[in-house]
Chain A
Amino acid sequence: MLHRLQNSRNFLGLAFMLPAGVLLLLFLTYPLGLGVWLGFTDTKIGRGGEWIGLQNYEFLWGDSVTRLALFNTLFYTTVASVIKFGLGLWLAILLNERLPFQTFFRSVILLPYIVPTALSAIAFWWIYDSQFSIISWALVKMGLIDQYIDFLGDPYNARLATIVANIWRGVPFVAITLLAGLQTISPSLYEAGAIDGASGWQRFRYITLPLLTPIIAVVMTFSVLFTFTDFQLIYVLTRGGPLNATHLMATLSFQRAISGGALGEGAAIAVAMVPFLLAAILFSYFGLQRRAWQQGSDQ
């Protein structure tokens, strides 16, 4: 019996997959399931709740702060992700060129990514300070502005300021990953393009971009997910203020669930993020990654 099992591909496959399966169940499925369950209850911190169906979601639908947080999250994610992609691609292409001190520059690019988020957020907090901002100070000294810019005190300024901080932090991830993708493209393709008289733009459009698409899909999926669920940066910089203008779904969920004690409602906000995250993943999966050529087809 034991001998038969030892030679059974199905059994061995199951046995080797089992630890991973248990881990997934314990640390992914269970918390997610618990979150979904809590969203249907009125659970408070330190005490159990009762099933209230869709009441949390009904309330949140009519709650202007939650709607504002949803708008903020979509705005933050869209603007930051597009700019991160543009800047990241540009940097990757630059770094892919034969530059002096190439390795040094590649390392420097990674710096914002390796600094702990909370630390970089504190640095930005100082940069944007309404009284001590180095940016405002420099602009005033140069005679370009008369008074300090209210980076974090005005709702739109605050949204843009947090987006800039997110971009600064997120660009290295996009740039370095795309650089890795660029280095897998054979130089002979560019040589062939050049011989055929293709311009720089045409080489980028017809060689670089198509071959980089699978990497772009993966990078942008992760970038969108990270941005959509951003928490630390906002928590340190603004705590969701001013006037809730920078509250993202993640920070609002935390404020309501943990600080405010409304675990059920906070969980419902967190669960409400899932469809958006799934949409981002599915877009990447169906729209970009499952292209025929990627599976070995020559079409």
Chain B
Amino acid sequence: MSDNRRKFLKKASAGAAAVSVPMLWPGVAQAQWNNQAEKGAKLRVLRWKRFVQGDEDAYMVNVKKFSEKYGIDVRVDNEGWEDVRPKAAVAANTGGGPDIILSTNDDANLYPDKLLDVTDLSEYLGKKYGGWYPGAQAYCRPDGKKWIAVPLGCAGSMIVYRQGMVKAAGFDAFPKSTDDFLKLFKALKEKGTPGGMALGNATGDGLWCNWLVWAFGGMLVDKNNKVVIDSPETAKALEYGKELYATFIPGTLSWLDPNNNKAFLDGQISVTNNGISIYYAAKNSQEAKVKEMASDIQHATYPVGPVGQPTESHLFFNQMIFKYSKYPKAAKEFLRFMMEQEQFEPWLTGAGGYVAPPLEAYTKIPVWTADPKNTPYRDAVKNMRPAGYAGRLGYASAGAGADFIIVNMVAEAVSGSKSPKEAMQRAQQRAERYYKL
């Protein structure tokens, strides 16, 4: 490429970017926001601990900007996401604790009455940034009217794989069907480069079990919230899972969220399910061997099963303001500030695309295309099925998820600890307990 041509493209792309910026946020003229934070307000925010360092760094830069602009002190505490849920539950029950909590999955639906109505804020953001995806609305606007939390996005649970190993196993492209997916895992095992996915009580990485059940037409509950997990469709999923599990690296029954990251980066597995954190860690590693691995890492969406449509399940994040907060207006202002493009874009870029956006406009942020390997994560919220599929989200779906009913059913059946029928019956009985409301 000649220098002149390069300069032209540079200028042209810069110009195109300048022109396209207003187009990214087409509804800006309609969005109105009126809110005055309380004088002397102080805020406490509890959020899940970062899986990628850039997330926390960029978040704290935004927090500092907020404090400087509004003169409001913000204390941010970070906890592992396993620990955020209990703390949020205690806060909801006792009526005291952080003003804002960033939590996982459908936690907001455990205690909707304890959360501040954030309909005005969510509608403002929705109008300004191209609208909320239906999955985000399902989590945070369970009745279709009132917003009980502001969606932050989700950590996409995608397939992470070693391109070289998959190719060596005879696959030029990553399989798109469950049949080919199984063939790939069998071939990888034969080659001595097996795959592995978590089957322990892992909040994030256990979500692949939802995909498995849904891919074959199984579901925990139907549209009327009737428990229907004990079904021929689930049985097929579990039989398939048994074959898949037989190819896994030993030890996946004990895996919690960090295990597959470690095994993958150590070169012990070739395929797993994860957020973008494995790739992020490889890219930013100080070890040359791990850094080299980044070029061989690829991402893909989950294969489609006999049900004939994608059945993605991702780890969703809520931003909840509790009613007991002394400074509800300041809390709303904080969330608005953090969700505005000026803050959200650098945060998402810092996080390397760890959180897929819930607002359509933010899928146009360059982080998703600057590195094509990030792109599969971009549409995670757009494509996800909410955790309580096909029923309504609420206390029951949140409880069933937190109790690992699906994960344990899959683990029991695929490991041979229980027959698929026994595992399904156990899951049915347990889920009925939650859905008996």
A interface residues with partner B (beta carbon < 8 Å): 44-47, 59, 63-65, 128-132, 147-148, 150-155, 158, 238-244, 254-256, 258-263, 265
Contact = CB atoms under 8 A, between A and B. Distances in A.
Interface string B98-128: 0000000000001101100000000000000
- The binding surface of chain A is classed by DSSP as loop
Nearest to B206: A241
A263 B93 contact: yes
A260 to B, nearest CB: 4
Nearest to A259: B402
Contact of B399 (A239, A244, A261): A261
B86 interface: yes
Contact of B434 (A238, A239, A262, A263): A262
Interface stretch (B43-51, B235-243, B261-269): B261-269
Interface stretch (B135-143, B172-180, B252-260, B348-356): B252-260
Contact of B250 (A45, A59, A153, A261): A153
Given A131-B266, A261-B399, A238 B426 contact: no
A168 to B, nearest CB: 19
A271 B395 CA distance: 23
A129 B249 CA distance: 13
Contacts of B262: 129, 131-132
B253 A244 contact: no
Given A63-B430, A131-B263, A46 B114 contact: yes
Interface in B53-94: 82, 85-86, 89-90, 92-93
Interface of B: 82, 85-86, 89-90, 92-93, 110-111, 113-114, 199-201, 249-256, 259, 262-263, 266, 268, 395, 398-400, 402-404, 408, 411-412, 415, 417-418, 426, 429-430, 433-434
B411 A243 contact: yes
A241 B411 CA distance: 10
A260 B114 CA distance: 16
Contacts of A255: 402-403
5 contacts: A44-B110, A131-B259, A239-B201, A243-B408, A259-B403
- Name which of B110, B199, B263 has the most chain A CB atoms within 10 A of its CB: B110
Given A47-B113, A152-B251, A261-B110, 7 more contacts: A46-B89, A46-B92, A46-B110, A130-B255, A131-B263, A258-B85, A260-B400
Contacts of A132: 262, 266
A244 B405 CA distance: 11
Nearest to B114: A46
Contacts of B395: 44, 261
Contacts of B201: 238-241
